[in-house]
Structure 1
Amino acid sequence: MKITDFAILFVIIFFPLFWLSGLHTDEQSQASSLQISYTTALRTASQDAGQVMSTNEQQQYEAGYSSEKFFRADKELALQTFLNTLYLNFGIRGDESAQQNLLYYIPAIVVIDYDGYYIYATENYIGADGSSNARHTWHPKKPYAYSDAQGNSIQFTLDHTVHVTEANTGEVLDGQAEQLANETDIALLDQMDTFEQVRRTAIVSSIQKDLAYYINKHNEYASRYGISYTFTLPTISQEEWNNSINDIGILSFLQGIPTGSGYYNNYALGGGRLVKKTSWLGTVDPNSGIKYAYPNGCKLPAPAQDLFTDAKEAAKSGYFLRDCRNPLIH
């Protein structure tokens, strides 16, 4: 067989493989770009919502009036701001049909208030024609409740203010845990290190449990609209959970949007008094193959592959930090 015959045979056999590989690479690149766009939109919407949550009209609800963390979260304003920013970044502002379709991919939003939390999730309702329909709605506020082994009831807040009910006497007390320790026999109030650990665990566990329930429940409604994706509560690190209950805030979820051969699944936290951070984009230098991260807004040498909340997160993921002028950041 001539060399030219071998060359032709090689092309016939391997060209389809190279072509398919190229298609897969392009698909991965497009999916990665979509993932970053969606994450940017979700985080921006959550940050905007978090910033307006602490807007209070009455002085007694302003932080510092009775506690450093005593804000009353304006959940309606937060939701409106979140959705407005999200619709804007998705390019569907003014398109009610597209907005409704996007809501199908938002299984839950939780607003973390000073003394409890609200969950915005889907529920059934009966329409005017008697048919069963689904819509997003606020569910009743749930306090940060806890009961000890003796049956004493404690309602926590985002600081050390508590509302307690003694099991033996039925006496109800309100105030700082340290001060109430001398007025009640509730052992937890005497041990502040244990109190803080139990407080955080109780708050996080309650929110996790309810979120898991409502997100799983969302599957029933999503299937009505042809969404085959299975909604579940994503894994959230303990550090992020702890950050979420340091102050009032909003925790939002966006899941199930097709991105190439996969699906988008993420969440974002917006705090009432969080300082807005610059996000970082991770990419790979096309010449050296080295992973670099740049502040969002910089011109990148190659398409972005990852999005990070800050420089520390990018560095922990193995990226070298650079600024917009490209020198390494030391």
Structure 2
Amino acid sequence: MVLLIIAITLGNVVSLVIFLGSKRFWTPQGYLKASLALADIAVGVLVIPYSVHREIQVVLQGEDYNQDQSEEVWRFHPCHVIGPIFAGCTFVSITTIFLLSIERSITVLRPLHKNIVVTKKRTLGLILFSWLLCFFLALVPLLFSRDITLEYNPCSRMCNYAFSPPHQSSDLNILLLFPAFDFSLLGGTLVINLITFSAIRQFCNIRKRLAESETQRISNSPSFSDIRAAKTIVILTLSFSVSFGPVAVFVLGSVLGYQWCDFSFYAFWILTSNSCWNVVIYSVRDRSFRRRTRELFSGKVLKDRRPSVWTERRHTTHCVAVIKDILRPQHTNSAGPAFEIF
């Protein structure tokens, strides 16, 4: 758990610094990736450390510690905060991947309209709306059912939603909202990616034919970097789908009355470990991300930033001086011309 905390926190902090600290990443796609990194940081900084704390207490005080804590589950408990954070960040991750797929689809299908449809202001508004919506959904079981609460589960080693002994079937169905929401977005994301890649395939075939006929390529086709970014979003989608699948099966089994202790542990921690895979995918797929990471750790940007500014100013001053020399009248002898023409 401690190693997972270090990997998630360090990797996503680096991603956040790169996406927000470099102007080349100040794009709608960069803001969405920064939102995804922020959700993963919350998991590494808040969710997993509490599990580490509980496991240490169990080791020091024995299994009776969990039993003593379970008797106070209906009062205020740290899980009442940690649980919604984990659920909300999970929803934010899949919602952000869905928005990334839409942004890439517009870039590929309508490259000429991208800057008009996908703007920074709209992207920031969608990010804010997605965070509010996702955390509201995380609180829905607690707001609309008195028999549902949050407690630390010794099987999954996490804060999970739990029921009081006299519960009704209608209360159980509220938890089905979580897998329904996630799978709806995942299904929509896969459909959007299929449409995007069918268009990419058509563009690639057109490029191949144009290359054979030695003519110029069409001007409204997506660039190679856009196609590579679309493939990266597909990999992120597949990674999250594989990670969320076991949790969805566990939630469905819990609603049906099954108690899968060992399975719940693997399901939740596979989903948690997905928070550090985004950085690995960026590092493998995104060349600009790798270059910016090397610059960040080597300090190259800090050394080159100030000289580049002065070089740009010097070049600008030199160009202005040349223009003045060209336009300045040159006085010559009476036999010569009045102006020297270049």
Provide the TM-score with structure 2 as the length reference.
0.28
Q: Which structure shows the higher strand fraction? A: 1
Please identify the structure whose Cα radius of gyration is greater.
2
